[in-house]
């Protein structure tokens, strides 16, 4: 056998061996089943290119089958207080929270913060989760965001639940403006209730000297802030955050980009078939006495309304048991 013949045989054997290996690899790959992605407590939702573009911080909580998207208030607020609000429903629902663009854990440049982009972020989240129809719970301005998303994407809504909603009409009609002014007077009286002064005096926070410590200033700040948000000011120690954690500039940036024609989400609710619920407190500073929300419900009668007594804007802190009961009831609607 010549050297040339030996080389031909060797090459043939090599290529035959490589062909068998290739076939074996393809066979093995076809039989390998990709594992389901592990559950994550938190992750990041990209808004363009994963490496170069800003991302939204997303947090998951709960083991239930039905997924619920939770939209925090603000604009410029953050999601964490809503986690504690639904902690007792962990085994009944699967909750998705996220910090809206520009908020604490989702920093964005000012140029990318707008009303429309907030709406599109909800749609990005829906697509990422691969959910056809969303259960959305929105608190305060989060209720406005939920309503705006529902207006643009009505086919993607299973149901809306609005917690202590910010105005669902903008600009406010003349008849509602008069009602709002009456409620404002009652709110101012509520803010000056003696319980607030007693709470400040309890810790000697009204003194002129000596200078308040940083911890004392924090307590004074929180009592002054949450006298507006809570019915029972004695529950202020349950609250956290504020100050630099709240990104106030996001509110202004978003408000500048509101639609020129405003909105009337109540009219929208009347024309759609998806269920809408409102849960609010009877001492909510945005609608003190609930005159506005009662009028909205009268205009869109399919809207289900629950008013929790002795509760303010952060109703789950004032009345946690009743809040959980009402929210669970509405979600199971």
Which residue(s) pair with 93 in the sheet?
Answer: 66
CATH number of this structure's domain 42-173+247-331, picked from the four choices 3.30.70.141, 3.20.20.150, 1.10.150.650, 3.40.50.1820: 3.40.50.1820
Interacting residues of 149 by C-beta distance below 8 A, sequence separation 6+: 119, 122, 123, 136, 156, 157
Predicted confidence at residue 39, as pLDDT, reads 86
Predicted confidence at residue 78, as pLDDT, reads 98
Predicted confidence at residue 33, as pLDDT, reads 79
Predicted confidence at residue 182, as pLDDT, reads 92
How far does the chain reach from its first CA to its final CA, in angstroms?
A: 86
Sequence-ordered alpha helix ranges (H) in 272-319: 291-299, 315-318
Domain edges within the chain: 42-173+247-331, 176-244
Predicted confidence at residue 172, as pLDDT, reads 94
CB 318 within 8 A of CB 144: no
Threshold 0.85, pTM exceeds = yes
Kind plus residue range of the DSSP H or E element containing 304? strand 304-308
Kind plus residue range of the DSSP H or E element containing 129? helix 115-129
Q: Tens of pLDDT along 97-114? A: 999 999 999 999 999 999
Rounded to whole angstroms, how far apart are CA atoms 50 and 53? Answer: 6
Predicted confidence at residue 3, as pLDDT, reads 44
**Which stretches of the chain drop beneath a pLDDT of 70?**
1-31
Q: Tens of pLDDT along 37-78? A: 898 999 999 999 999 999 999 999 999 999 999 999 999 999
Q: Which two tokens stand for residue 319?
A: 């009345």
């Amino acid at each position: 056998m010549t050297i040339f013949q030996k080389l031909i045989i060797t090459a043939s054997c090599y290529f035959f061996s490589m062909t068998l290996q290739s076939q074996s690899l393809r066979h093995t790959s076809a039989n390998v089943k990709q594992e389901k992605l592990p559950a994550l407590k938190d992750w990041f939702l990209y808004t363009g290119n994963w490496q170069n573009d800003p991302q939204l911080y997303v947090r998951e909580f709960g083991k239930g089958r039905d997924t619920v998207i939770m939209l925090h208030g603000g604009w410029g607020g953050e999601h964490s207080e809503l986690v504690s609000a639904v902690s007792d429903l962990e085994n009944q629902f699967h909750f998705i929270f996220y910090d809206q663009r520009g908020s604490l854990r989702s920093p964005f440049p000012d140029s990318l913060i707008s009303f429309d982009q907030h709406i599109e972020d909800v749609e990005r989240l829906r697509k990422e989760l691969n959910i056809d129809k969303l259960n959305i719970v929105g608190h305060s301005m989060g209720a406005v965001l939920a309503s705006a998303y529902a207006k643009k994407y009505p086919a993607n809504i299973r149901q809306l639940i609005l917690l202590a909603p910010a105005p669902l009409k903008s600009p406010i009609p003349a008849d509602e403006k008069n009602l709002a002014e009456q409620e404002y007077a009652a709110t101012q009286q509520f803010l000056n209730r003696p319980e607030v002064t007693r709470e400040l005096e309890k810790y000697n926070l009204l003194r002129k000297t000596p200078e308040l410590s940083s911890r004392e200033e924090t307590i004074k700040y929180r009592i002054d802030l949450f006298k507006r948000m809570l019915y029972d000011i004695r529950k202020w120690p349950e609250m956290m955050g504020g100050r630099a954690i709240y990104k106030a500039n996001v509110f202004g940036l978003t408000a500048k980009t509101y639609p020129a024609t405003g909105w009337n989400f109540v009219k929208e609710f009347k024309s759609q078939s998806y269920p809408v619920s409102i849960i609010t407190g009877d001492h909510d500073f945005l609608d003190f006495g609930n005159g506005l929300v009662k009028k909205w419900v009268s205009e869109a009668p399919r809207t289900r309304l629950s008013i929790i007594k002795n509760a303010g804007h952060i109703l789950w802190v004032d009345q946690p048991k009743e809040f959980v009961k009402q929210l669970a009831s509405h979600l199971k609607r």
